[in-house]
Structure 1
Amino acid sequence: MLPAGYGPEDTERFLPEQHGGARTDFARDRARVLHSSSWRRLAAKTQVLSPASGVDFARNRLTHSLEVAQIGRELAVALGLSQDVVDTACLAHDLGHPPFGHNGERALDEWMAGFGGFEGNAQTLRILTRLEPKHFGPEGESVGLNLTRATLDASCKYPWALGESAAGGAKFGYFESDAAVFRWVRRGAPERRKCMEAQVMDLSDDIAYSVHDFEDAIVSEHIDPEILTARSGHTALIRAVAEWADGRFTSDELGEAYDRMSAGANWLTSWDGSRRDQAKLKNFTSDMIGRFARAPIRATLEAADGTSLARYGADRDEAAELLVPREIRAEIAVLKGIVAAFVMQSGRRQPTYRRQRSLLIELLHTLWESGGAALEPAYAADLRAAGSEAEARRAVVDQVASLTDQSAIAWYRRLCEAPLA
């Protein structure tokens, strides 16, 4: 039985299947993602702090995805959406991330310049619909996990191609070689509009990313709360956050957002690692998750006035919208910007980031020059079947993107014969 607001077109699969048993199509999608090797690999992929950093309690891409899914399910219940569709989209949203997180994305995109580029979200669609082995079509072609249309659409954070974003940015949702399945997924959808489930996944990702990365940065002592709350450096901190936010908010908006959060009872002013401080930090993250979720739920339900929000809502020409108050977006941006200033953009991290990108690019060149001999069998077969240089390069990138942080280093040491110092 389908949840309210969903129809047969939402449960359609690219390759038709017949099933028995009590599980719904959406529950089956969730199980397929959880049992996939691509999902397991997330346990050894960088979120903000590398799994190899020595900080054994820091979040990785898998634990982050679980936390995104937990937030997503709560939002789905409140908004009357399919919990399984939202949950699966949240679990799958980072499948396309290569080794070393966004830094690795930069390297792969650089190597694919002129050949379609690289984007982690587009790679996610590629994994779900082609690379993760589960089902095959009549001509022997892989259709990946063969998920339902609703689940695949919910997983698509950027429903457009390279160069088609409204701001002309680098984010996009599919590669040209995957255009056919993208068009199938988006059949009947308003152009360039995300379904409500994708919007919920996106917000859940933002909430988890902002709150939990902030928590990890304090616990790992990349951020000292005493320095963070020192008024003498407050203006410089807000300026750094504003630069990271790239003009989306004024310094005044961000300063006010910071003041609202720091006025809370659980805002840390010091850190000694005691259980009391750990509890206070955990309660701060809980407070923020609730704060960031409740306001959009309230605003969205008020605007919906009782109509279904599932997929594109009652009017597909307009498409239902998840309404996130600007002050909430500013608060999320502050937490993200603080982590960026103290961790990702820290001068001491830049040499590491450069070495990581250099490692991946040299590994890509080496695999390319091997003519496929050094690739795993599935990717070597893709390279041999390629009809163009772009398709052949894509096979090499698929291989490298599948690697974990440590396996990328191991491949580099084995194939490039120049281990990192």
Structure 2
Amino acid sequence: MRKQHEWYDEHDAERWVAEPVKRPGRTAFARDRARVLHSAALRRLAAKTQVVTAGSDDFVRNRLTHSLEVAQIGRELALTLGCDPDIVDAACLSHDLGHPPFGHNGERALDQVAAEIGGFEGNAQTLRLLTRLESKTFDADGRSVGLNLSRATLDAATKYPWPRRAGERKFGVYDDDLAVFEWLRQGVGERRCLEAQVMDFADDVAYSVHDVEDGIVAHHIDLAAVGADRAQYWEIVRRLYLPEATDAELDDGWRRLTELPYWPSAAFDDSRRALGGLKDLTSQLIGRFCTAAEQATHAVFGRSRLIRYEADLVVPDGIGVEIGLLKGVGMFHVLNSPERQARRASQRELLTELVEALWKSAPVHLDAAFKADFTEATDDRARLRVIVDQVASLTDPSAQAWHAQLIN
């Protein structure tokens, strides 16, 4: 049997800027994974919000721990399907690099301040980081090409393979970055490669089970209460994740979950036994979801050479409902907490004010790399994009510190 990386060709392993091979026994995709793993952008995720504000609790996930868990899930699923595990691992580690301070809340604030220059979207910012902002390789003209990852890895990290367009909130590339986007997407339209689908599914699985785990430990989620008053939970599930799901489908999905032998049978009481049971729940659910997707995909596409555009990930409808239910339960306490709503509004205001302050004083307070970008920019649109890049690069604590220094 051929090694998995041999199923990919030179086109898949090509880089935007050609580089000499320093270690012939190492695949291009192993190099990609190492570059992401050692990047400054990945380290910064340790101080960026996942759901609960980073640093506010020693137990709950931040963006870095979430990304590591997504990578572990994605890598194992890739191995069972036949994808190169390093491609999927690197894509999973990369998938949240573009998130600004305060997670999706910060994303919303930056999208508003950048409305006139194409907006802000975390996935498009991820591509910008990987291909421009994260310093590693430079082209013949001295321009940064970011980590200079292979085409297959960049493609796997592209969750939304299209530019911004009317009626769609999500997109994967800014107009400034269309050249490299078109290079990595040659001839494939808007279809996502299998590795990107695995990354996206691993993200959903991790998000669904781990946010519920965090919420239970923080005593924000009571699983018994979900069953007792489903209507308010199902409304959020439909609004955010499963708009077409009927009450019967959601009820049936919840019944399947609660009848699992490892589903908690008692209220969480902070004991070691309860913590152990909760950890078993998360691992069992991850296994359930991934095994179902693996088996369904192999049933449709066979058992060999499931890579790139030769297969699609198949997720059974019932499993999709179960994942959507858990995501909705996890999000319920976030959306229905007055304290968190007030904090989220304050965070959006902070980032908006920070962009305005940096714009007025630029390039004085910018980091050296962004100061150079600002100086080289040819118009105000490009200069504002540099300011947004700078703010998006900050962690939650550094955004607060910069705001305090420049405004308070």
| TM-score between both structures, scaled by the size of structure 1 | 0.93
Cα 1:240–1:29, aligned 2, differ >3 Å: closer, same or farther? closer
Cα deviation 1:25-65 (Å, max 9, x = unaligned): 11111111111110100111111111232x11111111111
- Residue 177 of structure 1 aligns with an amino acid whose one-letter code is D
Q: Partner of 1:202 in structure 2?
A: 200
Instruction: Judge which range, 257-266 or 235-244, deviates more.
Output: 235-244
Q: Partner of 1:30 in structure 2?
A: 33
Q: Partner of 1:47 in structure 2?
A: 50
Instruction: Judge which range, 125-134 or 216-225, deviates more.
Output: 216-225
Q: Displacement of 1:245 after TM fit?
A: 2.7
| TM-score between both structures, scaled by the size of structure 2 | 0.96
- The answer to whether structure 1 residue 182 and structure 2 residue 173 are counterparts is no
Cα 1:306–1:244, aligned 2, differ >3 Å: closer, same or farther? closer
- The answer to whether structure 1 residue 288 and structure 2 residue 291 are counterparts is no
Quote the Cα distance in structure 1 between the aligned partners of 2:39 and 2:51.
23
Q: Please say if residues 69 and 87 of structure 1, whose CA atoms lie closer than 8 Å, have aligned partners that are also in contact.
A: yes
Q: Partner of 2:273 in structure 1?
A: 276
Cα 1:344–1:4, aligned 2, differ >3 Å: closer, same or farther? farther
Quote the Cα distance in structure 2 between the aligned partners of 1:323 and 1:40.
33
For 1:49-88, list aligned pairs within 5 A: 49-53=52-56, 55-88=57-90
Q: Please say if residues 199 and 322 of structure 1, whose CA atoms lie closer than 8 Å, have aligned partners that are also in contact.
A: yes
Quote the Cα distance in structure 2 between the aligned partners of 1:120 and 1:234.
32
Q: Partner of 2:299 in structure 1?
A: 302
1:241 is aligned, of 237, 242, 247, to 237
1:339 is aligned, of 330, 342, 348, to 330
- The answer to whether structure 1 residue 252 and structure 2 residue 248 are counterparts is yes
Count of residues in correspondence between the two structures: 404
Cα deviation 1:153-184 (Å, max 9, x = unaligned): 000000000017xxx32100000000000001
Cα 1:245–1:20, aligned 2, differ >3 Å: closer, same or farther? closer
Q: Displacement of 1:2 after TM fit?
A: 6.4
> What's the RMSD between the two structures over aligned residues?
1.4
For 1:62-141, list aligned pairs within 5 A: 62-141=64-143
Quote the Cα distance in structure 2 between the aligned partners of 1:393 and 1:138.
26
Q: Displacement of 1:114 after TM fit?
A: 1.9
Quote the Cα distance in structure 2 between the aligned partners of 1:254 and 1:388.
51
1:353 is aligned, of 338, 344, 367, to 344
- The answer to whether structure 1 residue 151 and structure 2 residue 153 are counterparts is yes
Q: Any stretches of 5+ residues in structure 1 without a counterpart?
A: 314-319
Cα deviation 1:394-416 (Å, max 9, x = unaligned): 10011000000010000000001
Cα 1:133–1:240, aligned 2, differ >3 Å: closer, same or farther? closer
Instruction: Judge which range, 246-255 or 119-128, deviates more.
Output: 246-255
Percent of aligned pairs with the same residue?
52
Quote the Cα distance in structure 1 between the aligned partners of 2:35 and 2:336.
37
- Residue 217 of structure 2 aligns with an amino acid whose one-letter code is V
Quote the Cα distance in structure 2 between the aligned partners of 1:241 and 1:302.
29
Q: Partner of 1:173 in structure 2?
A: 172
Quote the Cα distance in structure 1 between the aligned partners of 2:154 and 2:241.
29
Q: Please say if residues 4 and 83 of structure 2, whose CA atoms lie closer than 8 Å, have aligned partners that are also in contact.
A: no
Quote the Cα distance in structure 1 between the aligned partners of 2:4 and 2:291.
26
- Residue 20 of structure 2 aligns with an amino acid whose one-letter code is Q
Q: Displacement of 1:228 after TM fit?
A: 3.0
Cα deviation 1:262-307 (Å, max 9, x = unaligned): 1122222401001111111111111110111111111111111245
Q: Displacement of 1:246 after TM fit?
A: 5.7
- Residue 202 of structure 1 aligns with an amino acid whose one-letter code is D
